[in-house]
Chains A and B, each alone.
Chain A
Amino acid sequence: MMNLPLADFALLTVLMTFIVLLALDVLSGAPSILFLAFLPAIVWGIVIALKGRRNHA
Chain B
Amino acid sequence: MPDSTLLIQLLAIILFAVCLYHSWNTEGARAAQQWFITGYIFALLLISLLVVTQQIAFNPAMLFFGAAPSLTIMLLPAVIYLAYTIARQFAEPTNLRTMTFLTFLLTPALMLPIDATALNLDWWSYPTESTSFLDGIPFYAPFAWGVIGAAFFLLIGRIRKIRFRGNGQIFAMIIAVPVLAALLIGVIAVVQILVYGISSIGGEAAMYIALALIFIALPVLFVFRTDRRPLTTKD
Interface residues of A (CB under 8 A from B): 5, 8-11, 13-14, 17-18, 20-22, 24-25, 28, 30-31, 33-34, 36-41, 43-44, 46-48, 50-57
Contact = CB atoms under 8 A, between A and B. Distances in A.
B18 A43 contact: no
Interface of B: 1, 4, 7, 11, 15, 18-19, 22, 26, 82, 85-86, 88-92, 106, 108-110, 112-117, 120-121, 134-135, 137, 215-216, 219-220, 222-223
Given A13-B19, A21-B114, A57 B109 contact: no
A24 B109 contact: no
B120 A54 contact: no
A21 B220 contact: no
Given A25-B120, A47-B223, A40 B90 contact: no
Contact of A14 (B4, B110, B115): B110
A51 to B, nearest CB: 5
A24 B121 contact: yes
Contacts of B89: 5, 8, 48, 52-55, 57
Nearest to B105: A44
A13 B11 CA distance: 11
A26 B223 CA distance: 32
Contacts of A41: 109-110, 112-113
B117 A24 contact: yes
Contacts of A52: 89-90
B134 A36 contact: yes
A44 B86 contact: yes
A3 B79 CA distance: 23
A33 B134 contact: yes
A21 B8 CA distance: 9
Nearest to B123: A24
B134 A56 contact: no
